[in-house]
Amino acid sequence: FEKSRSKVVEVAREAKTLGRDDPRRIIHSLKVGLAITLVSMFYYFDTLYQGFGISAMWAVITVVVVFEFSVGATLGKGLNRGIATFLAGFLGVGAHRLASLSTERSEPILLGLSVFVLAAAVTFLRFFPKMKARYDYGLLIFMLTFCLVCVSGYRDDEVLDIAHQRLSTILIGGAAAVLICIFICPVWAGSDLHNLIATNLEHLGNFQEGFGDEYFIKSGDNKSSLQGYKSVLNSKSTEESLANFAKWEPRHGRFKYRHPWDQYLKIGTLTRQCAYRIEALNNYLDSEIQAPLEIRVKIQESCTKMSSESSYALKELALAIRTMIRPSTVNAHIANSKIAAINVKSLLKTGLWQDTDLMDGNTNCHSCFNTYRCCRLH
Amino acid sequence: FEKSRSKVVEVAREAKTLGRDDPRRIIHSLKVGLAITLVSMFYYFDTLYQGFGISAMWAVITVVVVFEFSVGATLGKGLNRGIATFLAGFLGVGAHRLASLSTERSEPILLGLSVFVLAAAVTFLRFFPKMKARYDYGLLIFMLTFCLVCVSGYRDDEVLDIAHQRLSTILIGGAAAVLICIFICPVWAGSDLHNLIATNLEHLGNFQEGFGDEYFIKSGDNKSSLQGYKSVLNSKSTEESLANFAKWEPRHGRFKYRHPWDQYLKIGTLTRQCAYRIEALNNYLDSEIQAPLEIRVKIQESCTKMSSESSYALKELALAIRTMIRPSTVNAHIANSKIAAINVKSLLKTGLWQDTDLMDGNTNCHSCFNTYRCCRLH
């Protein structure tokens, strides 16, 4: 008993954390409840129920399956489901008509064959990367509806009625999900992507900012503020799915319909490359092998300057992305950082192994900036 | 016309590549077609159709939705669907009974309220990372079935019949999908994960093997053989989903039921850390800043030795994972590599900046080995 109680307390604490980290999760849950309750009204009111009967079920199913966290994901799934059902219903009725022209014996064989061929073809189509990214759900529903219409047509002569009712209830369910998703506290995948890209650049900037102090002074307190960049290392799949969702979204806020979402992915890739180098740099901090003290004192000033100027540049880029205002002093910071890097190099002239990492970090910073510029010009 | 023809040729070529890269994709497509055709037999034979009637639809739907590429994914979805439908049906019937005890006016209100609360609660539960990883689909189906049973019970007094028919057809569809998936050319997510981890280690080994030549000799031919490690950088999400699927799989081949799949994720994480350093190392190759020639000649032998010994160690680890036989000479290779690293260091004594990267690569190699050992002992 004691154990299950502590389990409940633990779950409650996790739920609280989840809700506090992103209150939109709580709102989303309530929105889903609202949409399902609204759609189930079909059952409660006689006038509504007369029209659809048992097909009203499909409206409830559609809401449950289509309602996703972000507007883009919901719209994408809703459109996929609606269009796929329409096309497959059309094709299924056609196949049924064709098969019913033949003899009674060969009809099930023809139907079975067409179901087999279409199911296999569509399943293979789902392996195409481009299809998978945007139309995976649509292909699934296409296959599903075709099989249902085609096969149940063998038993029920009112195929057209079935197809029609199924389509209209799915449209109603989909519309309810999409409208509630868009008009009650919408969560835009595009804005999330926009913020994620900016936050990731900030994480890199924070590392560069703290690196000098950490390396030369060893403040001794925990380096947790420097570890933010680690989340950047594995951000690829999140960014890609957000960009996919964002492409379904209509104009909203500062984002137009054809906002160049792919450019965000390019900035994301460059940010990640920069993060890989920072990961290597971070290993110097923990490494047992360190440069002797006298060298460190010698390069401390230039080195700290180099890293703090990089930090300014990265943070200004992040701010520029966030506010969508062209940055003004980034080039100056990068130039300063380069001068500092050249200083470090000349101080290390007696040495052999150059500070390639930091230089590369700088180059990268530069290429980030270039992409950003392309993005703005687009 | 010419354009659409070239488009078709392009798609056909892509399909051919997809099929040749992994012929299991073609087999999977045929398996899906077969399963759906088999299940739709329910409609064609009178004796079968008598029992289920229109509910036979759910068997087709279940096959389409549950049939996934790997056995683990199919089993996971099938079990999730089956168990969730059972539990939700049970709960839905209960809620319906409770509500029907009240007055006729308050019944729809009670039902609506219970649908709202349950839908919101389950949607929130789907945000828990642990739930999302393994039971996301089950939670969706739970919500779906509960709403359907609860709401359609208001119109139809044969709730128990509906729930029972739905459950049995889902069980039949799920069983068909799972059996065909397991017994006709099965694709095991566990084996895929096993091979992926070994291949990733091999990619790192290939880089280390080629690095010496590339850095000191600059053979000039394209470095494509060295670029294999890049796929390792972003392998995290693939590995995690494979491990999730693998946990659903029964004993197969050399893998027991409770094979320590999480250990693979640990090796994967270490491999990725190693890949980040190799990415930094790879940048030296492209960098404009290079050590002067006289230094390079001086360190060439030791440096090449260090990297080739690391390569031997990594490749032997990969082979050991693949064959599940404890490696014998890995420690010797790592020791050799360390000696070579110490040599490089002493050669660079006049220099200041140590070859931290390569040393770290070595350390990492070592920790990979340790994890592997844990995994074997488990």
Amino acid B141: pLDDT:
93
Distance CA B355, CA B89 (A): 64
Mean pLDDT of chain B: 82
Interface test with A, best of B43, B271, B281 (most A CBs within 10 A): B43
Q: What would the pLDDT profile of B277-287 be if each residue is shown by its tens digit?
A: 888 777 767 66
Distance from CA of A243 to the nearest CA of B (A): 17
Which of B124, B232, B300, B366 to mutate to test binding with chain A, by most A CBs within 10 Å of its CB?
B124
Residues of chain B contacting residue A143, judged by C-beta atoms under 8 Å apart: 36, 64
Q: Flag the least confident range among A140-144, B88-92, B94-98.
A: B94-98
Is the pLDDT higher at B195 or at A360?
B195
Give the closest residue to B125 by CA, choosing from A70, A294, A28: A28
pLDDT of amino acid B356: 43
Residue A237 has pLDDT above 50, yes or no: yes
- What are the distances in angstroms from CA B296 to CA A295, A352, B219, B299? 23, 10, 15, 5
Element (H, E) at B90: helix B71-101
| Helix/strand/coil for A163 | helix
Report the range of poorest mean pLDDT among A149-163, A239-253, A265-279, A333-347: A149-163
pLDDT of residue A212: 75
pLDDT at A376: 46
d(CA B120, CA B143): 9
Residue B252, phi then psi, degrees to nearest 5: -155, 140
Nearest CA of chain B to the CA of A81: how many Å? 14
User: Which token pair is A101?
Assistant: 């022209």
Q: How far apart are CA A206 and CA B348, in angstroms?
A: 33
Residue B374: what pLDDT?
44
| 3-state secondary structure string across A36-92 | HHHHCHHHHCHHHHHHHHHHHHHHHHHHHHHCCCCHHHHHHHHHHHHHHHHHHHHHH
Residue B40 tokens, joined: 């739709």
A75 and A189 Cβ atoms separated by less than 8 Å: no
Mean pLDDT, to the nearest integer, of A263-271? Answer: 89
The winner for highest mean pLDDT among A110-114, A190-194, A295-299 is A190-194
Nearest residue, CB atoms, A36 vs list B119, B121, B154: B119
- Structure-model confidence comparison of residues A235 and B297, the more confident one: A235
Q: State the Cα–Cα distance between residues A276 and B276, nearest whole angstrom.
A: 5
Residue of B nearest to A342 (CA): B289
Minimal Cα distance from A65: which residue of B? B140
- Judging contacts by C-beta atoms under 8 Å, the chain B residues touching residue A112 are 37, 40, 44
Q: Which residues does chain B have within 8 Å of residue A152's beta carbon, measured at their own beta carbons?
A: 43, 54, 57
Nearest residue to A184 (alpha-carbon basis) of A22, A30, A61: A30
**Closest Cα in chain B to A359:** B289
Q: Tell me: the pLDDT tens digits for B43-70?
A: 777 777 777 777 788 888 999 999 999 9
Q: Give me the residue from B116, B234, B279 closest to A236, CB to CB.
A: B234
pLDDT of B353: 44
| Enclosing H/E stretch for A190 | helix A189-216
The neighbouring-strand residues paired with A255 are: A252
In this prediction, residues B214-238 reach a mean pLDDT of 76
pLDDT of residue B291: 65
Find the mean pLDDT for residues A125-130: 92
| Cα dihedral across residues A63, A66, A69, A70: positive or negative | negative
Nearest-Cα distance to chain A for B149, in Å, is 10
Residues 6+ apart with CB under 8 A from B185: B24, B27, B31
Q: Which residue in chain A is spatially nearest to B344 when comparing CA positions?
A: A353
pLDDT value, residue A270: 87
Please indicate whether, in this complex, the C-beta atoms of B348 and A348 are within 8 angstroms of each other. Answer: no
Top pLDDT among B329 and A284 is at: B329
Residue bearing the bigger pLDDT, A47 or B229:
B229
Task: Kindly determine whether residue B28 and residue A234, on different chains, have CB atoms separated by under 8 Å.
Answer: no
pLDDT of B373:
47
Q: Is A363 exposed, middle or buried (0-12, 13-18, 19+ CB in 10 A)?
A: middle
* Chain B residues with CB-CB distance to A115 below 8 A: 33, 36-37, 40
DSSP classification of residue B221: S
pLDDT at A219: 56
What stretch of H or E contains A12? Answer: helix A2-21
Q: Work out the end-to-end distance of chain B between its first and last CA atoms, rounded to an integer number of angstroms.
A: 62
Dihedral (CA of B59, B65, B71, B77) sign: negative
Closest CA in chain A for residue B53: A155
**What does the DSSP 8-state code read for residue A218?**
-
Task: For residue A274, give every residue at least 6 positions away whose Cβ sits within 8 Å of its Cβ, in sequence order, or none.
Answer: A204, A361, A364, A365, A368
Helix (H, G, I), strand (E, B) or coil at A252: strand
Q: What is the mean pLDDT of chain A?
A: 82
How far apart (Å, rounded) are the C-alpha atoms in residues B73 and A144?
19
- Looking at residue A121, what is its pLDDT? 94
* Rounded average pLDDT over B191-201: 92
CA atoms within 13 A on the CB side of B97: 7
Closest to A137 measured CA to CA, from B65, B68, B34:
B65
Instruction: Note every long-range contact of A85-88, with CB atoms under 8 Å and residues 24 or more positions apart, other chains counting.
Output: A85/A141, A85/A142, A85/A145, A85/A166, A85/A167, A85/A170, A86/A167, A87/A142, A88/A141, A88/A142, A88/A143, A88/A144, A88/A145, A88/A146, A88/A149
CA distance linking residue B130 with residue A303, whole number of Å: 43
Specify the pLDDT at position A241: 92
More confident residue, A289 or B130: B130
One-character DSSP codes across A308-325: HHHHHHHHHHHHHHHHT-
* pLDDT score, position A157: 65
Per-residue pLDDT reduced to its tens digit, B309-322: 888 888 888 888 88
Subunit contact A292:B352, Cβ cutoff 8 A: yes
Contact in structure between A244 and B244 (CB atoms under 8 Å) = no
Higher pLDDT, B209 or A245: A245
- In chain B, the residue whose alpha carbon lies closest to the alpha carbon of A63 is B144
Determine whether B365 is exposed, middle or buried from the number of CB atoms within 10 Å of its CB (0-12, 13-18, 19+): buried
- Within 8 A of B25 by CB-CB distance, chain A residues are 124, 127
pLDDT at res. A181 = 92
> What local confidence, expressed as pLDDT, does residue B377 receive?
38
Cβ contact, residue pair B284, A356, below 8 Å:
yes
CA–CA gap between residue B260 and residue B247 (Å, rounded): 9
Q: Do A119 and B279 touch (CB under 8 A)?
A: no
Whether residues B44 and A143 touch (CB distance < 8 A) is answered with no
Interface A–B counts its CB contacts (< 8 A) at 211
Contacts of A60 in chain B (CB under 8 A): 144, 147-148, 151
Closest CB to A276 among B111, B280, B287: B280
Q: Are A356 and B289 inside 8 Å of each other by CB?
A: yes
Name the β-bridge partners of B255.
B252
Tell me what pLDDT residue A47 has. 72
Q: Tell me the average pLDDT across A118-131.
A: 92
What residues in A contact B143, CB-CB < 8 Å?
A: 36, 64
3-state secondary structure at position B284: helix
Is ipTM strictly over 0.90? no
d(C-alpha A174, C-alpha A66), whole Å: 7
User: What confidence tens digit (pLDDT) does each residue in A189-209 have?
Assistant: 999 999 999 999 888 888 888
- For the cut 50, the answer to whether the pLDDT of residue A52 exceeds it is yes
Q: How many CA atoms lie within 13 A of A37 on its CB side?
A: 19
Nearest to A206 by CA among A317, A357, A311, A333: A311
pLDDT band per the 50, 70, 90 thresholds, residue A220: low
Would you say residue B196 has pLDDT above 90?
Answer: yes
Q: Which of A314, A317, A364, A358 is nearest to A339 (CA)?
A: A358
pLDDT at A374 over 60: no
Distance CA B46, CA B69 (A): 32
**Is the per-residue pLDDT at B345 higher than 50?**
yes
Q: How far is CA B286 from CA A86, A360, B95, B223, B255, in A?
A: 53, 10, 67, 11, 43
Question: pLDDT value at position B375?
Answer: 44
**Residue A351 with chain B: CB contacts under 8 Å:** 351-353
DSSP B53-76: GGGHHHHHHHHHHH--SSHHHHHH
Min Cα separation B378/chain A (Å): 28
